[in-house]
Amino acid sequence: MSASNECRYNYDQSKETADWLLSRIPQKPTVAIICGSGLGGLADLVENRSVFPYKDIPYFPKSTVQGHVGQLVFGELRGKQIVCMQGRFHFYEGYNSSTVTYPVRMFFLLGVEILIVTNAAGGLNPDYNVGDIMMIKDHINMPGFAGENPLCGPNDERFGVRFPCMSDAYDKDITRLAQEAAEEQGCASFLRHGVYCMLAGPTFETIAECRALQILGADAVGMSTVPEVVVARHCGLRVFGLSLITNKVVTNYDSKERANHEEVLQTTRMRTEDLQRMVSHLVGKL
């Protein structure tokens, strides 16, 4: 087994982290939100906050990416007890699958039932525009094609079954509620439904790679989210995912366009208020 697939964290460590947090928060959360690049402002809507920097939490990894604050925010949003993860972990930071997904197993042990994942993504679908919000209806796990799956290694039945189903990874009932929330908040005109493809990064995609992903049926591409979704479904959590389309991928060799992280953060700043309003309204409907 490769070093990247070694199971570095076990059930007892996850439980120790969860118990440490439970002893410091007034109520258990039922909803967890993972905030993608530049989307950490979602946590600013939380009331009666308890904030824990990653560096203070037992066994917790640390986020090193610009646009990721690196803290857990517990509190109340629209009458629901939630936890917001401001800053996630990625393969390209040098973390393995077990580390990237560690927070999700810990959420499960906290009592979380629903996971909302958000990310910044490049638009592969030519009909998409910068600033569109895509509800994820399915994903393509490219690292998984190469054997990099967070469930590789010994299975612990206390988390889930050996061979979990992924054909229902994204909850249709939550998606329906999110569609309602988007319409009620005036976001329907830039809302899409599509397939998210994950690559490991940190390089942005080549033109040939983008063309190949389009042939595979991907509508958006990014460097995160799928490992967390896989582990969440393994633990039996219901999952809803959103991608903010922050740039359009380059598919023409004559194009002078170049993907860059600053453009990603700039677009998130433009659309942050809409995304926050939509997610907040959705949480109130759950």
Active site residues: 37, 68, 90, 92-93, 120, 223-224, 247, 261
C-alpha–C-alpha distance, residues 55 and 61, integer Å: 7
Kindly give, in sequence order, each residue whose CB lies less than 8 Å from that of residue 151, ignoring residues fewer than 6 positions away.
164, 230, 231, 234
| Host H or E run for residue 224 | none
C-alpha–C-alpha distance, residues 229 and 120, integer Å: 16
Q: Per-residue b/e over 222-245, b at no fewer than 16 CB within 10 Å?
A: bbbbbbbbbbbbbbebbbbbbbbb
Q: Kindly give the pairing relationship between strand 114-123 and strand 80-86.
A: unpaired
Q: What angle do CA 226, 191, 174 make, to 5 degrees?
A: 60
Structure token digits, residue 43: 């946590």
Quickly list DSSP for 188-222. GGGEEEEEEEE---SSPPPHHHHHHHHHHT-SEEE
6, 97 in Cβ contact below 8 A?
A: no
C-alpha–C-alpha distance, residues 161 and 156, integer Å: 8
Kindly give, in sequence order, each residue whose CB lies less than 8 Å from that of residue 203, ignoring residues fewer than 6 positions away.
none
227 closest CA partner among 21, 74, 83, 61: 61
